[in-house]
Structure 1
């Protein structure tokens, strides 16, 4: 999955192109399983500083996006996923020069039933939604197995003041991979 955005100073602002979205993108199968995203590219288009929200930490927030995730396996198996991404600000995935892309997994269902997920390396127990950092592994509570998992991935990008202090158009991006792993 790729999240992109283009920053243009006010003098170069242009109309935002229609978002580029690739439907049904899939990752390579693992043990016969297929991992797919509702869209492989999340494109924020072009914008100026006036279109961004500044929070109390002097970080500019881009509009959150939600991407559906599906994992289908030929037979029931325990499902665990690892987030592969370059680390960025405060442990989130790297976005732009010194920005961050916060990733949250929620609305997890296994074979049609709601379930909770757990990060075995974290202190908290199973939760209905979980924030993911690069390298984190999440699995279904109690090692639950299934053939079909559906979930939502929330993407919340932010950029620093330094990221928007540029003289011309700049492209920001982050590449994320959710890898099905044996656990």
Structure 2
């Protein structure tokens, strides 16, 4: 068999912390609003999502970014963690310049300090035509000169909060009961 035609076995990734038999944490929302949002040109992706949703009382949501132009975009990719403290670690931000976001998913919740966070992964096409993707740095990505359509589903009855996950040994955005201090 030619080396290029060899079948590669998937690699086994084992997290460093104690095994949790319930790998996917979930909550049920008895209701949720569905909203069509248009991201405002000139704003960061973070502000274009967080500000209009906060204005209508949405602090936790799942979104689908249907595609559009960004004047500037940075992203990271997940690489093996060289310190071996976790299976992966994000790379340093990669500046992609002006891009077209083909498709993205963003989750809105709270960071470790209770502030809003937008966790976004997307596929993009760079000006040279290459297709790339990864974890989008939402504070530094600037929406281009046309509004970008986003479908939003509010997550009512619980919140998403970044908390330390002992199995993966990294902070993750996880569902929790809503805070009373709202």
TM-score by length of 2: 0.29
> In proportion to residue count, which structure has more strand?
1
